[in-house]
């Protein structure tokens, strides 16, 4: 079946030999168009209450356009042409510096060219990594205001495999993970993470006492864990951090490990003093009968690392698919989240005890899951006086995002901040 020529890169893009003759804004629009095909945003991850810092438009507004995008994305000839065109654009970028703006004002030099080169080269890498059918590599750039730079993550989604026991939905990146990663990079202190390159006041310079431990439950493709690790690699000085990305399904763990290697090649983590990032299998159901002591019930009976110690911050993004998951997650958090004072190297602007941050979509078809979360983690102050501490929802925030396709105008998410009370 032939492609609609008006949308195919080989027809829509200006000829390679004429690239240097094009206005800079037109070339930027061409690269943005290619991003829409080969680096599409995850559905429902753009907040409506703010302007996206990386606003990438794409033509997938209707079902027929989405089908066209999928056809273009998997067409080997068109992708190869796009890579050749982008490579030529980068090669000819030096010729663009003397191009005037459309309004006749002098071209402002290197900034726009540098931005265009960065966008083009990142897309070349994405296209080169998309080789298998329905395998998609995306590059994310979350702006960190406290560092005045982007936190960049590259992720590969692979096809969802289904077996008789458990479908590996974690091999795809979902909107909750995109939203949580963006939020924690923008406001790390809100999540108990260092907010800048300086050391938190009063923490030791070295030693095990200065280590902060972070866990992601149901990490999937690893976006949240990778964003945290990239952020910490830029913001922590004189301290140590352990980031553990956990999941259950073997196919998910395999893809997760590959994504970690893609972002931190062999030797890269060792070169970042004090930072550790690893993927581990974790079965939430094993904690169902564990008492809420702040440590696993088997902690003195040979529980394998890294779950033989508590975590200062725990993250979960879209991890509740069945009502039983809420109970399993509650018991897992109860076993791994300590009941103590804030860690000395966590953010000091908001003195917080260890917290569990859960982000989940408010799906109309999954109301029972949402209800079970709030039953497992009751709002603080409800239920009368307690003789013992319990895990409660300390804060709840509703976030509205654009659906960005024909299935609806908006997608709602709930961000729960959960702790001992």
Checking if the pLDDT of 310 tops 80, the result is yes
pLDDT of residue 59: 33
Q: Mean pLDDT score of the chain, rounded to an integer?
A: 77
Q: State both tokens at 223.
A: 């976006």
Q: Which residues in the chain are classed under CATH 3.40.50.150? A: 136-421
Higher pLDDT, 382 or 320: 320
Q: Which residues in the chain are classed under CATH 1.25.10? A: 1-131
pLDDT of residue 383: 62
Checking if the pLDDT of 351 tops 60, the result is no
Checking if the pLDDT of 28 tops 60, the result is yes
pLDDT tens-digit series, residues 131-158: 444 577 888 889 999 899 999 999 888 8
pLDDT of residue 316: 97
Higher pLDDT, 105 or 388: 388
d(CA 28, CA 54): 14
Higher pLDDT, 206 or 358: 358
CA-based R_g, the chain, Å: 23
pLDDT of residue 90: 85
pLDDT tens-digit series, residues 242-269: 999 999 989 899 999 999 999 999 888 8
The CATH architecture one would assign to domain 1-131 is Alpha Horseshoe (1.25)
pLDDT of residue 306: 93
d(CA 203, CA 87): 47
Query: Could you write out the three-class secondary structure of the chain?
Result: CCCCCCCCHHHHCCCHHHHHHCCHHHHHHHHHHHHHHHCCCCCCCEECCCCCCCCCCCCCCCHHHHHHHHHHHCCHHHHHHHHHHHHHHHHCHHHHCCCCCCCCCCCCCHHHHHHHHHHHHHHHHHHHHCCCCCCEEEEEEEEECCCCEEEEEEEEECCCCCCCCCCCHHHCCCHHHHHHHHHHHHCHHHHCCCCCCCCCCCCCCCCHHHEEEEEEECCCCCHHHHHHHHHHHHHCCCCEEEEEEEECCHHHHHHHHHHHHHHCCCCHHHHCCCEEEEEEECCHHHHCCCCCCCCCCCCCCCCCCCCCCCCCEEEEECCCCCHHHHHHHHHHHHHHCCCCCCCCCCCCCCCCCCEEEEEEECCHHHHHHHHHHHHHCCECCCCCCCCCCCEEEEEEEEEEEEEEECCEEEEEEEEEEEEEC
pLDDT of residue 254: 92
pLDDT of residue 161: 56
Checking if the pLDDT of 408 tops 60, the result is no
pLDDT tens-digit series, residues 152-173: 999 888 875 555 445 456 677 8
d(CA 279, CA 308): 15
CATH superfamily of 136-421: Vaccinia Virus protein VP39 (3.40.50.150)
d(CA 332, CA 328): 6
d(CA 246, CA 330): 16
Per-residue pLDDT, averaged over 404-418, amounts to 75
d(CA 297, CA 252): 27
Indicate the pLDDT class of residue 2, thresholds 50, 70 and 90. Answer: very low
Residue 176, Cβ density class (10 Å: 0-12 exposed, 13-18 middle, ≥19 buried):
buried
Query: Quick one: what percent of the chain has pLDDT higher than 90?
Result: 33
pLDDT tens-digit series, residues 162-207: 554 454 566 778 889 999 999 999 999 999 887 666 444 344 343 3
């Amino acid at each position: 079946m032939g492609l609609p020529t008006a949308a195919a890169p080989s027809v829509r893009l200006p000829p390679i030999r004429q690239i240097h003759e094009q206005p800079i804004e037109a070339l930027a629009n061409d690269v943005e168009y290619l991003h829409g095909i080969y680096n599409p945003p995850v559905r429902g991850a753009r907040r409506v209450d703010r302007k996206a810092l990386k606003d990438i438009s794409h033509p997938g507004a209707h079902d027929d356009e989405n089908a066209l995008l999928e056809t273009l994305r998997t067409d080997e000839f068109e992708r190869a042409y796009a890579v050749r065109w982008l490579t030529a654009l980068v090669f000819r970028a030096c010729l663009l510096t003397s191009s005037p703006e459309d309004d006749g004002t002098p071209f402002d030099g290197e900034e726009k060219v540098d931005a265009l080169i960065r966008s083009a080269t990142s897309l070349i890498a994405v296209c080169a990594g998309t080789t298998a059918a329905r395998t998609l590599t995306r590059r994310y750039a979350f702006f960190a205001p406290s560092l005045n730079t982007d936190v960049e993550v590259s992720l590969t989604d692979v096809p969802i495999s289904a077996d008789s026991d458990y479908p590996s939905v974690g091999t795809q990146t979902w909107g909750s993970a995109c939203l949580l990663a963006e939020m924690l990079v923008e406001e790390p202190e809100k999540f108990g993470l260092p907010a800048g390159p300086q050391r938190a006041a009063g923490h030791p310079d070295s030693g095990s006492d200065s280590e902060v431990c972070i866990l992601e439950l149901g990490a999937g493709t690893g976006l949240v864990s990778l964003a945290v690790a990239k952020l910490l690699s830029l913001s922590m000085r004189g301290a140590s951090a352990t980031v553990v990305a956990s999941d259950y399904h073997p196919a998910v763990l395999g893809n997760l490990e590959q994504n970690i290697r893609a972002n931190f090649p062999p030797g890269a983590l060792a070169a970042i003093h004090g930072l550790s990032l690893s993927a581990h299998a974790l079965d939430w159901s094993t904690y169902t009968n564990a008492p809420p002591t702040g440590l696993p019930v088997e902690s003195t009976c040979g529980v394998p690392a890294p779950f033989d110690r508590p975590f200062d911050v725990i993250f979960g993004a879209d991890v509740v698919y069945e009502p039983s998951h809420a109970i399993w997650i509650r018991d897992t958090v109860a076993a791994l989240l300590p009941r103590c004072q804030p860690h000395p190297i966590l953010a000091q602007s908001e003195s917080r005890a260890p917290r569990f941050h859960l982000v989940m979509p408010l799906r109309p078809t999954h109301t029972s899951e949402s209800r079970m979360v709030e039953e497992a983690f009751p709002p603080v102050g409800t239920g009368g006086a307690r003789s013992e501490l319990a895990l409660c929802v300390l804060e709840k925030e509703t976030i509205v995002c654009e659906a960005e396709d024909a299935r609806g105008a908006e997608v709602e998410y709930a961000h729960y901040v959960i702790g001992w009370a």
